[in-house]
Amino acid sequence: MHEMLRARRGAPSLAIWRGEAEAEPSFVLNLPEFLEGDAFNIEAFAGAIDDAVAALTLLAPEAFRLVIGMADLALLLARLDLDYGSGCARDTAAMLAAFLTARADLASASLSGKEGYRISVYAPLPEACAIPGLAEATAVARRVALKQERRRHQGLTGIPPAGPVEALLGIETIGIAAPLAPLDGAGHLAHWASARLAVRGVNPESAVAAVIAGDDPFDTPVPAASRAMHDAVAPHLHLTPARPAMLACRQPAKPREALPDRRSGYTQKAIIGGHRLFLRTGEFPDGRLGEIAITLHRESAGFRGLMDAFATAVSLGLQHGVPLEELIESFTFTRFGPGGVVEGDPAVAYATSLVDYVFRHLAANYCADYELAPAMPESEDGVVIADPEPLLPLELPKPGLRHPRRPVLKLVG
């Protein structure tokens, strides 16, 4: 074990080093360290598997289940010039897992007596493998292991939980996981990214230029690649690791539905609290709302720019299938100035902001069945005035009463 640790080829879990009891003793094999030049040392890998089974059995003879796994698969694939998300990379990883399991079964069978656990039929081998001789070595190990019929342990291979041993071995990615980015946590180029550039003869300056140009010289794997790798490797291990979960925010959006070059729609002019606004709409051929444009007058350049960008974002959402009702639910009742009484639009009497007006108008014209509560003005202390009375011209406060200031002025003819 000390010799393997010195070569950074493998090490047992921290509990084994401390002499502590562990329900499932584990051992990690660092795959890239078995690569000598361009060739993967299959004999050294087999010897390390045998040593791992023997060491864990001697140190924990009562354990009926071991977890011997491989790690830093991403760096090995990069040094072999294989894209992590490619089919050849998955077949190579599956072949390594199949060899690991067959060799571990054979080592465990040599330590068992008449009693033990039956060695079951293995899953079919993958069709391709980028490591010469590994497919033949796996077939031989399987054939010899099946002749033994029984092994000492119920299970031997899997993906051990991450721990300090990986850091001791210099492992960058745990188990069969995909690399997340070409940079490590310190902002330096990750080992797998450096290996990818080296094997392809690309210097860092050229890689930076490619990134600036919008290319990915590292071929960083997409999130779905981890799931595909798991599905390829899991059938060849005794203890199947949990399948990586996909985040809901990573689900692909609906394809963008383009509007026709000549589209129908209308322009609505309105005055909200004394501020003039033009709302333009664009429709799909079936009459659904597909885009909006908001034009303001006498506002600052920054505010006009924000409203223009907001209208563009809403239009993109509509064209990607976002329901208009969800947008109405999110943006109505937004309260910021300018806001107030609405003039020029009979469908909306009052709006708490320009954004609130836009979506109230859209709800009235494109969602006839959508019920929306009316907006109410607020007093200066933030209290909503349920039914504000009109302020008549030349009206004076009554003696002894404090007349509250109203944020809006309604002229009654």
Both structure tokens of 378 = 């607020």
Residue 125 pLDDT:
93
Q: What is the DSSP letter of 84?
A: T
Distances (CA, A) of 252 to 53, 145, 225, 247, 334: 44, 45, 15, 11, 29
Token pair belonging to 226? 């981890």
239 C-beta neighbours (distance < 10 Å), count: 18
What pLDDT was estimated at residue 298? Answer: 79
Q: Which helix (H) or strand (E) element contains residue 278?
A: strand 275-283
- The DSSP-derived string for 86-122 is SHHHHHHHHHHHHHHHHHHHHHHHTT--S-SEE-PPP
Cα–Cα–Cα angle for 347, 353, 354, rounded to 5 degrees: 70
The region that residue 8 occupies, defined by phi over 0 for left and psi between -120 and 50 for alpha, beta otherwise, is left
Contacts of 235 (CB under 8 A, 6+ apart): 94, 123
Assessment of whether the complete model's pTM goes beyond 0.85: no
Go through 110-128 and write b for each residue having 16 or more CB atoms within 10 A of its CB, e for each that does not: eebeeebbebeebeebbee
Give me the tens of pLDDT residue by residue for the chain, a chain 413 residues long.
888 988 999 999 888 888 887 888 999 999 999 999 889 999 999 999 999 999 999 988 888 899 999 999 999 999 999 999 999 999 999 999 999 999 999 999 988 766 788 998 899 999 889 999 999 999 999 999 999 888 999 999 998 888 888 888 888 888 898 888 888 877 788 898 898 889 888 888 888 888 888 888 888 888 788 889 999 999 999 987 666 655 444 445 578 898 999 999 999 999 998 899 999 999 999 999 999 999 998 788 888 899 999 999 999 999 999 999 999 988 998 888 888 999 999 989 999 999 999 999 999 999 877 767 777 665 555 544 544 444 444 455 444 443 344 444 555 65
